[in-house]
Amino acid sequence: MSLFRRGRGGPARVSALEAAAGTGHGQSAATPSGTSVLLDVREADEWHAGHAPGAVHQPLADLASGAALAHAAQARPVVVICRSGNRSRQAAELLSARGVEAVDVVGGMRAWAEAGLPVVDARGGNGTVA
């Protein structure tokens, strides 16, 4: 089954482990190699505290204002993540309406960290989910 199957009434939702597999992240993946990009839509302070290695950062407010999708995420399927899953759901719907193949992560970075997946801070050290 495709990670990017269409859900009822909008983009599909995936678990943190499905997101990690689809974006090439693993328990020790320092440089993800998946075909999909992990797009973190949290605010800058949340991103700096802790994010998935190799994720692309673009706050939801930026996307909602009509800004173009970050260059590193263009022309690729997008797995959208936030802290708990609310903003990522909004972003996935917005991106899907623009024709981007997008899903969001249920439980967000909290679920990501709980699954034991890597979280780094702005300096590349161990991060926390803010």
Residue at 119 is within a domain: no
For 117-126, what is each residue's pLDDT tens digit? Answer: 999 999 999 9
pLDDT 10s digits, 51-77: 999 999 999 999 999 999 999 999 999
Q: Which position among 37, 39, 82, 119 bears the catalytic label?
A: 82
Assign residue 68 the CATH number of its domain. 3.40.250.10
Range of the domain at 97: 6-114
Rounded Cα distance, 93 and 1, in Å: 20
In a domain, 75, yes or no: yes
Any domain includes 124: no
Active site residue 82: yes
Number of domains, the chain: 1
CB atoms within 10 A of CB 93: 16
Model pTM score: 0.89
Q: Is residue 1 situated within a structural domain? A: no
Residue 55, in any domain of the structure: yes
